[in-house]
Amino acid sequence: MSTQPTQRAEPDLLYSQEEDALRAAVRDLLADHCDAAGVIARIESDAPHDRELWKLLADGMGLAGLLVPEELGGQGATHREVAVVVEELGRAVAPVPFLTSAVVATEALLAGEAPDLLAELASGRRIGTLAVALNLPAGSAYKVVRFEDGALHGELTGIADAAAADVLLVPADDGGLYAVDATAAIITAQVSLDLTRPLAKIVLDGAPGRLLGDAEPAVRRALRAGAGLLASEQLGLAEWTLTETVRYLKERKQFNRPVGGFQALKHRLAQLWLEVVNLRAAARNAADALATGSEDADVAVAVAQAFAAPVAVHAAEEALQLHGGIGMTWEHPVHLYLKRAKTDSIAYGTAGAHRAALAELVDLRAP
């Protein structure tokens, strides 16, 4: 007696021609404006976020508004197109707040009634972030601030891209989700493992907030979409690390032959390729389920995250090892991918948290 939710008949796991064209455009832009050396130089500067690049993606291409309906100033696209953009941003470890603002904060706003804020985020002129710690999966308890005498008080940590944000979406102890202007908060950068998506501490000391609606459904919706689309970012990370490692091992010679000709290494790379191929199917499935509003979306997202996290970390760890000494240096970009992949393995819930969710969803319960 199974209590599994019914599956949708036919998830579309391919990329459409339009999605391929979108990918090509984003990849071209990133090739011109987001090279690894530039990212490495930027992450230790005062401005770790690349605002020029963000302007090109948001203003130039309209990507910040993909999930927002056209009547609210967005593009009226779906999670399928967003997934393609996220893949490419992952391939470049681009330091832009796309996932946090154009996906997670936007989804939280889509759950409420704030068309003006949505339009601002969709235009990319303002950046939003959901003030929930990056490690939390949908459905878990999150920290709230105190709502007292019409103002917000409290401290929140682990908030991704808060340093770049203009507006913070803050859950409070009265059950509401509030929009707080970033200028009304004290935002302090935390030294983060992944410097391309830095975390910050937010202190609210009597900050005014605008009530957007109930926090719980908005946060749940936002974190589920974040987790589902993060799998596409992890796919992009894994793709880059595999491709770059294969390229390097064809070129690198030791013992009078290309290192990539040794069977011990070939088998490891072939295994990795297989993992990436599987990840693509799982990530596409999650994006399609979110896009179609399928009743299978919870399962699709949990499967994608439970599968993606170990694959992206494995790919980055193999890339570092197989690059040998050069892979251990600050100047080689592989560390950017390792740090992002390891951070992503915790972001929006660990693989273990998503497996625990699956145990309920597909009726494989714990003892």
Partner 1 sequence: MTDAAELRRRTAELLAAYPPADTDRLDFLRARFDAGLAWVHYPEGLGGLGAPRSLQAVVDADLEAEGAPDNDPRRIGIGLGMAAPTILAYGTEEQKRQYLRPLWTGEEVWCQLFSEPGAGSDLAALGTRAVREGDGDWVVNGQKVWTSSAHVARWAILIARTDPDVPKHRGITYFICDMTDPGVEVRPLRQVTGEAEFNEVFITGVRIPDARRLGEVGDGWKVAQTTLNNERVAIGGMRLPREGGMIGPVARTWRERPELRTHDLHQRLLKLWVEAEAARLTAERLRQQLVAGQPGPEGAGMKLAFARLNQEISGLEVELRGEEGLLYDDWTMRRPELVDFVGRDAGYRYLRSKGNSIEGGTTEVLLNIVAERVLGLPSEPRTDKDVPWKDLAR
Indicate which single residue of 271, 293, 324, 329 sits in contact with partner 1 (rule: CB under 8 A): 271
Residue 288 C-beta: closest distance to partner 1, Å: 10
Please give the residues from 182 up to 241 whose contact with partner 1 meets the rule CB under 8 A: none
**Angle at which helices 263-292 and 215-251 cross, to 10°:** 150
Q: Which residue, 2 or 45, is less far from partner 1 as judged by CB?
A: 2
Indicate which single residue of 7, 28, 146, 174 sits in contact with partner 1 (rule: CB under 8 A): 7
Q: Is residue 1 involved in binding partner 1 (CB under 8 A)?
A: yes
Q: Which residue, 11 or 65, is less far from partner 1 as judged by CB?
A: 11
DSSP string, 107-128: HHHHTSS-HHHHHHHHHTSS-E
Q: Is residue 278 involved in binding partner 1 (CB under 8 A)?
A: yes
Residue 121 C-beta: closest distance to partner 1, Å: 32
Q: What is the DSSP letter of 66?
A: T
Dihedral of alpha carbons 178, 181, 184, 187, sign: positive
Q: Which residue, 38 or 261, is less far from partner 1 as judged by CB?
A: 261
Per the structure block, which two tokens stand in for 114? Answer: 């704030």
Per the structure block, which two tokens stand in for 94? Answer: 């681009």
Rounded CA separation 277/307 (Å): 12
Please give the residues from 284 up to 303 whose contact with partner 1 meets the rule CB under 8 A: 284-285, 303
Interface with partner 1: number of residues (CB under 8 A): 45
Q: Is residue 358 involved in binding partner 1 (CB under 8 A)?
A: yes
The number of beta carbons lying within 10 Å of the beta carbon of residue 247 is 11
Rounded CA separation 116/113 (Å): 9
Indicate which single residue of 181, 258, 317, 342 sits in contact with partner 1 (rule: CB under 8 A): 258
Q: Is residue 355 involved in binding partner 1 (CB under 8 A)?
A: yes
Indicate which single residue of 54, 178, 307, 337 sits in contact with partner 1 (rule: CB under 8 A): 307
Indicate which single residue of 105, 282, 338, 346 sits in contact with partner 1 (rule: CB under 8 A): 282
Selected range binding partner 1 among 55-63, 138-146, 182-190, 260-268, rule: CB under 8 A: 260-268
Longest distance between any two alpha carbons in the chain, whole Å: 75
Pairing of strands 167-171, 128-130: parallel
Rounded CA separation 203/145 (Å): 9
Per the structure block, which two tokens stand in for 304? Answer: 């994608």
Per the structure block, which two tokens stand in for 180? Answer: 């707080």
Residues that bind partner 1 (CB under 8 A): 1-2, 4, 7, 11-14, 246, 249-250, 257-258, 260-263, 266-267, 269-271, 273-274, 277-282, 284-285, 303, 306-307, 355-356, 358-359, 362-367
